Amino acid sequence: MNPEKPLIRVRALGKRFGEGCIRCKGVTDPEAASNRCPRCGTIHALSGVSFDVYPNEALGVVGESGSGKSTLVRLLHFEWTADRGSFHIHRRAVTGPMTETFFNGDEYSYNLLDISPFQKRQIRNALMGIVYQNPNLGLRMQVSSGGNIAERLIAAGFRRIGTMRERAGGLLEKTEIPVARMDEAPSRFSGGMQQRVQIAKALSNNPLILFLDEVTTGLDLSVQARVLDLIRSLKDELKLSMLVVSHDLGVIRLLCQRTLVMKSGCVVESGLTDQILEDPQHRYTQLLVSSRL
Amino acid sequence: MRMSEWLTTHLEKNDDHRNLGYPFGFMDEGAKREIRRAVLKAVAIPGYQVPYGSREMPIARGWGTGGLQITLSLVTPEDVLKVIDQGCDDSVNAVNIKTFVAKVAGIPVTTDTVMASLIQTRHRIPEEPMSRDQILVLQVPYPEALREVEPSEAETRRMHAEADYARMWLYLYEDIVRFGEITISYRYPVTVNGRYIMDPSPIPRWDVPKLHRAETLFLFGAGREKRIYAVPPHTDVVPLEFEDHLFRVEDFSDKFCARCGATDTFLDEIIDSENGGRTYFCSDTGYCAKRSVS
């Protein structure tokens, strides 16, 4: 196993949509047919998910639609508020004045789910990047591609146009977008190009952790391959840790060393990706692997 | 002595105002108290927009009711009032407001910035530096500096609360990329006291530096939008700028006022409709008149 300490540590993360009732307990089990309580209609999107992500590791999250994969990403990216659980980052992830705010003497930070929205924004701007399935969520379509990248840089404290443009140009080059098109809006780009602009934007603040939410879904196969190649090379070049959410086992096999299998808001199996794909233990994982095209 | 007690004792001396059928300063004491409280809160949190219950005024909303309500809530029988509209003392709007306040408070008016204790203005800050004993009340049509980039009020309030200003900066970035410079000519966004981004009301860029660490208290009133905000004396007011694209004011080099000859004031351009010739006049008419006489 990895001798290093995990970069982020998530424990017993829970999120429900609805009031909840006494009968809800029955549906927070992965073996239950559905994660919707038949009595009060509450959806238990996540019921106590725990995992670690190590430095420069890509952790895969697979599961059918509705299993809570995207909820997981949205909670960790602070877009939604978790009901319970904890989310800690390792001290080495944070430098500068932020250390005082988020750490006491311990190796790990305070529970990041409890900090103020302003502080969450600070953490997100300094440490996180995200790439959504739908580029409309991650990009401002009417603002130039360079501007999209600059927005993140501005949020991270950059105040010099020259520096920002240089950096945006470099990132676009890395993601194979012609720098000459930097001042064009992404709405004029193809789907694959938009996705690559999104990746450039996500990487602009040198994140430590990158969330990929179904990044290749909806792209044609040749474009998929190029985007995946790009992500793989950037991961090693920039020493990224990634949380890769996908329902496509091919993507997971290509990018991730370790994988969680989710069903009905619970982790039903976790381990090395190869092991899970070659020798699935849980009934649901077996079904998932065997139904691969 | 409390303001209300002071006013009461003073009112008893000025019997003629008690017979006019309305309180001193037109508004009832409860309304004035609420507005003064909003003003105090605004002064305590520089640049923060304080909501208040904007009252119905004898002029229509959008014609300076926000400024008028602040003026009426602050006016005392010892004040000397000046009202300007785009720098001009004699525009219809300025004259109407001036006459109204002078009547309901029984105070003298002036066009001289130095003589006035209370100045209400639309879209200009007087050229002559103001002192610590004066107050400048600005009329504000759109108090929300972020409205240009975000139409939702709930969202802009969240952005202010979290100091989430990247989109405002992005707006300036896009301007520079497209046009080579920031094209905002008035309502130039400023950061107040290192915290809130504030709309300085539609003053020209020329006037923005006058807000920075000034001697005077600046109060901003938006009657239609029901917001009051303030820049207290000696407060940092910094226009949004990039390190390699600095904020700059309007350029009037080689131009001068055709009336008083000033080369160091904000000038209005007048185009002769017959021969197309351009002449320039001081926008601040009070200052121009003063210089012309001397």
pLDDT tens per residue, range A195-226? 999 999 999 988 989 999 988 887 788 888 88
Q: Residue with structure tokens 């009336």? A: B259
Residue A57 has pLDDT above 70, yes or no: yes
Query: Which comes out higher in pLDDT, residue A224 or B84?
Result: B84
Of B87, B221, B257, B286, which residue is the catalytic one? B257
A195: its two tokens: 């996705």
Give contacts of A140 with chain B, Cβ < 8 Å.
170
Report chain A's mean pLDDT, rounded to a whole number: 89
Provide DSSP, B157-226.
HHHHHTT--HHHHHHHHHHHHHHSS----BS--EEETTTEEE---S-BGGGGGGGTT-SSEEEEEETTTT
Residue B18 has pLDDT above 80, yes or no: no
Residue B108 pLDDT grade (very low, low, confident, very high; cuts 50, 70, 90): very high
Residue A2 has pLDDT above 80, yes or no: no
Of B64, B221, B282, B286, which residue is the catalytic one? B282
Nearest CA in chain B to A144: B174
Provide DSSP, A170-211.
HHHHHTT--GGGTTS-GGGS-HHHHHHHHHHHHHTT--SEEE
Give contacts of B163 with chain A, Cβ < 8 Å.
118
Instruction: Say whether A144 and B174 touch across the interface (CB within 8 A).
Output: yes
- Top mean pLDDT of A99-108, B2-11, B63-72 is at B63-72
Verify whether residue B286 is a known catalytic residue. no
**Nearest CA-CA distance, residue B148 and chain A, Å:** 14
Instruction: Say whether A160 and B173 touch across the interface (CB within 8 A).
Output: no
Give contacts of A117 with chain B, Cβ < 8 Å.
158, 161-162
Q: What's the sign of the alpha-carbon dihedral A132, A133, A137, A142?
A: positive
Residue B247 has pLDDT above 50, yes or no: yes
Closest CB to A161 among B158, B166, B245: B245
Give the residue extent of every domain in chain B.
3-145+187-239, 251-294
Q: Residue with structure tokens 């070659």? A: A278
**Mutate which: A151, A167, A204, vs B, most B CBs within 10 A:** A151
The pLDDT of B241-261, averaged and rounded, is 94
Instruction: Say whether B170 and A147 touch across the interface (CB within 8 A).
Output: yes
Of B47, B67, B106, B277, which residue is the catalytic one? B47
- Sheet with B190-192, side-by-side order of all strands: B196-198, B190-192, B237-239
pLDDT tens per residue, range B112-129? 999 999 999 999 999 999
A185 interface with B at CB cutoff 8 Å? no
B269 interface with A at CB cutoff 8 Å? no
Q: What percent of chain B has pLDDT over 90?
A: 88
Q: Which amino acid appears at position B260 of this protein?
A: C
Verify whether residue B47 is a known catalytic residue. yes
Instruction: Say whether B176 and A161 touch across the interface (CB within 8 A).
Output: yes
State residue A1's pLDDT score: 44
Q: What's the sign of the alpha-carbon dihedral A184, A190, A193, A199?
A: positive
Cα A135 from Cα B210, distance rounded (Å): 44
Residue A282 has pLDDT above 50, yes or no: yes
Give contacts of B189 with chain A, Cβ < 8 Å.
none
Q: Residue with structure tokens 């229509």? A: B60
N- to C-terminal Cα separation, chain B? 42
State residue A78's pLDDT score: 95
State residue B76's pLDDT score: 94
Pairing of strands A258-263, A266-272: antiparallel
Fold of B3-145+187-239: Rossmann fold (3.40.50)
Domains in chain A: ranges and CATH: 8-290 (3.40.50.300)
Report chain B's mean pLDDT, rounded to a whole number: 92
**Mutate which: B157, B165, B169, B170, vs A, most A CBs within 10 A:** B170
Q: Which ipTM score applies to this complex?
A: 0.84
Residue B19 pLDDT grade (very low, low, confident, very high; cuts 50, 70, 90): low
pLDDT tens per residue, range A140-159? 999 999 999 999 999 988 99
Residue B285 has pLDDT above 50, yes or no: yes
Residue B17 has pLDDT above 60, yes or no: no
A221: its two tokens: 């196969």
Residue B188 pLDDT grade (very low, low, confident, very high; cuts 50, 70, 90): very high
The pLDDT of A129-133, averaged and rounded, is 92
B118: its two tokens: 């209370």
